[in-house]
Amino acid sequence: MTLENLWIPTVVICTGPFMDSAFVHSRSFGNGGFQPVSIPHPLGGLVLDDVNQRAASIHDQIVAALTGGS
């Protein structure tokens, strides 16, 4: 949130169970409009190729979050 509040585009990536926490933190740091990006849960225990596939699946959402796109 510190970077975002300094106008440095930032994106938080977290799995579904942690999305509520991401929203709470963004509001508590004064950035209620901040939009984290959700990646499929779980990540723990996955092999690198599976993590890379999940990351690739949210690429467009990350770009949109950083650029203000839809």
Give 23's contacts (C-beta < 8 A, 6+ positions apart): 36
Are the C-beta atoms of residues 3 and 29 closer than 8 Å to each other? no
Are the C-beta atoms of residues 47 and 26 closer than 8 Å to each other? no
pTM of the entire structure?
0.79
pLDDT one-digit tens code per residue, 51-67: 999 999 999 999 998 88
pLDDT, average across residues 17-42:
88
Ramachandran region, residue 28 (left: φ > 0; alpha: ψ -120 to 50; beta: rest)? alpha
**To the nearest whole number, what is the mean pLDDT of the chain?**
89
Give residue 40's domain range.
2-67
Q: How many domains does the chain have?
A: 1
